[in-house]
Structure formats: structure tokens, C-alpha cells
Amino acid sequence: MSGPGQVAGMPGRGEISLGARFVLLAALSLALIVVDHRQDQLSRVREVLSLAVHPIYVVVDFPFNAWQSITGSISDRRTLMSENARLRRQVVISQYRLQDLNVLEMENNRLRELLDSYEEVSEGRVMIAEILSTDLEHYRQRFIINRGAFDGVEVGQPLLDADGVVGQVESVSAMTSEALLITDPDHALPVAIERTGVRAIAEGTGDSSQLRLNNLTNSSDVVLGDRLVTSGLGGIFPSGRPVAIIDEFTQRPDQSFAYVTARPVSALDRNQEVLLVWKDVRVDSDEALTALEGVQQ
């Protein structure tokens, strides 16, 4: 076989042959694949790489941003006024609910004091993150958000929206983070049925309108339309947040578990903004611990 040097009419320049270079680089790729799969050591490398490819995300996102700003600026006065009126009504209603909530919170605190529990219930800091319009691999339910390590994003941090749970942060780079939707096939979320308190695991299916509950028995007390909320087990998500509505419950006498699916309540496939939530609880106790250690020394 003649080398590529002769093919293109250039002298070989004493290079390594095409075959040898291929074997070398292929071996390098294979080694990367194995290391990346087995361990988490490449996360730093990934961070640097995603910073390097950040311009591509910006380019991809640009037409969508431009479209939004155009449609935003030319939407006429009438629409703006009606939207304004709607938002005003919403504020009134929200404020009213908030007052209710304050009353409840005070009552809750009083009861907790009675129970001698000092557990902090506030959910701490939140930050709005924008979803960059990027499709990751199609069958995986992931997306990129425009907040990263600079904003204090941490791996495992929950993402919520106005309706309920959206997902969690999977990897963080300097200016962006990759997040896993609750419907990703790799994602499992500890939930509870609001009506009965029965606990279950909601697994992603790869379809953004469906979650599967694999461990509910045929005799479970489940009714179509039951609401699933986070159970707070696992410690990642705050408890009691809406997740999904049961939309199918089929008993399978031949198997030990029923076939149960649920439809997520948040608009997973058309969200533009999500809420990053920090749990101040853990941070506080960590700080308390270090302070305590300082005292002991």
C-alpha cells in the first residue's frame, strides 16, 4: 500500500505511517472511553472542554434568543395590556396565598417548637437559570443551563419550575452546567403519592411526557389522577414538591408489580427558565460543624 504522502503528491517527510497513527489515536480514544466510563477523573477535563466549546452553545442559542427578542418587541400594545392585567390578577392571588402560607409557616414553627425539633425548614437561596437551546443526544433527556461553577452551582442540585420538579444538575463547568431531566432513563426520583403517602420510585423513560413507577404492587391504593410529590428521601430534592400525575395504572396478575405511569407536571419539553435551589440547611450545619471543631481545638 502506498502511504498518504505519495497520494497527495507530497514527500513522506519521515512521518509515522497512516496505519500506525490510526492505531495510536484509536488506542488513545479507547483509553479515554474506558477511563471516562469507569471513573470520574475526567470531570476536570470535561470542565475545560465545555468552556472551550462554549462559543458553539452561544451560536446555537443565538437564533432562538433573537427570535424571542423580535417577537417580544413587536408584540402589540393590546397583548401587553392583557398580559399585564393577567399578571396583576396573578400577583393578587399569589399574595393572598402567600399570606396563607405565612400563617401556616408560623403555625408549623410553633408545632415544631412544641416537638422540640430544631430542624431548619427554610429552603434557602434560589436562582433563575436559562436553558440554552441545545439538544444533547436525542434519546437522553438532558439540557444545558447558563449557570455554572462561577454562580455556585453544585453537582446534584435540584432544578424546579413554577409547577414542580424539573431535574437535577449532573455536571458543572465554569459558565454552564449539564442537567438531567427527571424523565431521563438514568434518573430515578423518590416520590410519594400525596393522597396516601405511599412511597415509590419514579424512573425516567426517555419520553418527556412519561415517568414509570416500577415498584408499586398490584394491590397498591392508586387512583388515576393521584398526585406524586417528592418524598425527600435521598436528600437531594426538598420534600413535598409536585412531580407528576398518575395517568395509567394497570394491574398485572401475572407479575408482582403493577404497570404504572405518570405525566410530569412541569413543562419539561418547553421550559425556558428553571429555578436552581440551594439547600442552606446543609451548608449551615457544615459551617456549624467546622465552627465546633475550631472551638474544640
Partner 1 sequence: MISAGSRHWFAPTASVVIALVLSVVPLPDAVGAFRPDWVVVVLLYWSLIEPRRYGLLSAFWIGIVLDTLTGSLLGQHSLALLLVVYLSQRLYLRIRTFPASQVATIVIGLLALYELVLLLIDGFAGRQVPFVERWAPVVTGGLLWLLVLVAIERSRQAAEARM
> Would strands 165-172 and 177-181 be described as parallel, antiparallel, or unpaired?
antiparallel
**Cβ-based nearer residue to partner 1, 42 or 233:** 42
Q: How far is the CB of 101 from partner 1 (least distance, A)?
A: 36
Q: Any bridge partners for residue 244, and if so which? A: 228, 264
Rounded to an integer, what distance in angstroms lies between the CA atom of residue 152 and that of residue 155?
Answer: 10
Residue closer to partner 1 (CB basis): 171 or 266? 171
At its nearest, how many Å lie between partner 1 and the CB of residue 8? 5
Residue 99's H or E segment, with its range, is helix 77-114
Q: What angle do CA 248, 253, 255 make, to 5 degrees?
A: 85
**Residues near partner 1, by CB under 8 A:** 1-2, 4, 7-8, 10, 18, 21-22, 25-26, 28-33, 36-37, 42, 45-46, 49-50, 52-53, 56-57, 59-60, 64, 133-140, 142, 178, 185, 206, 208, 269
Least distance to partner 1 from the beta carbon of 263, Å?
A: 16
Shortest spacing between CB 114 and partner 1, in angstroms = 49
Q: Are 145 and 272 in contact (CB under 8 A)?
A: no
- Comparison of 64 and 259: residue with beta carbon closer to partner 1: 64
The Cα 81–Cα 85 span in angstroms is 6
Query: Dihedral, CA atoms, 72, 77, 82, 83, nearest 10 degrees?
Result: 20
- CB nearer to partner 1: give 8 or 114: 8
Residue number with CB closer to partner 1 (13 or 78)? 13
